[in-house]
Amino acid sequence: MTRPSIGVLGGTGPLGRGLGLRLAQAGHVVVLGSRDAQRAETKAKELRAEHGLGEALLRGAANDEAAGADVVVVAVPFDGLEATLEPLAPVLAGKVVISCVNRLGFDKLGPHPIPVAAGSAAELVAAIAPQGRVVGAFHHVPAGRMRRGQGAVEMDVLITGDDDAACATTRDLVEAIPGMRAVLAGPLRLTRPLEELTAVVIEVNRRYGVAAGVRIAGLPDATD
């Protein structure tokens, strides 16, 4: 079976680079997107050199080129979400669009969620690109652990969405990364508590000095 190509909007950020690397290692053709195409290719070149990947599997380009991939991952900061997606909305029509965006703030007490008028960042993505098949996923994955590109990532990825086929495609991408397990967590409207939980995961990792994620106990087969 042919693996879908992956475009990562915001692919020069920590999580974008980590996801792009892991999916390229799994055999997907990955384009790291950025507002600055040269910066994107510089980051992709660094990853290729560090992890022995060829340019055929991992390269950098402008966001509009990355949006032309079969599956598009949205990993841009929340504040840049609308400006990045609005001009790309026609290109995203009919595509699986995976939002891993969290809207968080940081103060002297640590991380905290900031409300999103649309309900969640994923629902805002769906509002901006209404013809995209939007899914929420990868919210609780520590970016640094992904970027190391070595070893299994023993954690669950909770997937939300209203399109069963898009959720299944996302599940396959999750489980292409060694150690990761996909958990189908319900409709897109349930993305809000998942995005907000990211603040808790970050605080736990800070307190314990680890790069932990989320694991759901008691599931015989999370993908059923």
CB 210 within 8 A of CB 137: no
Whether 48 is covered by a domain: the verdict is: yes
CB 28 within 8 A of CB 6: yes
Give the dihedral sign, CA 176/155/45/10. positive
Whether 76 is covered by a domain: the verdict is: yes
Count of structural domains within the chain: 1
pLDDT digits (tens, 9 = 90+) for 51-107: 999 999 999 999 999 999 999 999 999 999 999 999 999 999 999 999 999 999 999
Whether 215 is covered by a domain: the verdict is: no
Residue 148: the pLDDT is 87
Question: 155-161 and 133-136 as β-strands: parallel, antiparallel, unpaired?
Answer: antiparallel
The type of residue at 167 is C
Supply the mean pLDDT for the chain: 95
CATH of the domain at 62: 3.40.50.720
Q: What is the mean pLDDT of residues 98-119?
A: 97
Whether 57 is covered by a domain: the verdict is: yes
pLDDT > 90? residue 199: yes
Range(s) of the domain holding residue 48: 6-208
DSSP state of 189: G
Residue 149: the pLDDT is 79
Residue 176: the pLDDT is 95
Whether 112 is covered by a domain: the verdict is: yes
Residue 1: the pLDDT is 63
pLDDT > 80? residue 224: no
CB 132 within 8 A of CB 92: yes
The DSSP code sequence of 120-168 is: SHHHHHHHHSTTSEEEE--TT--HHHHHT--S---EEEEEEES-HHHHH
pLDDT digits (tens, 9 = 90+) for 146-192: 988 788 899 999 999 999 999 999 999 999 999 999 999 999 999 99
What does the CA dihedral 134, 136, 141, 142 come to, rounded to 10 degrees? 70
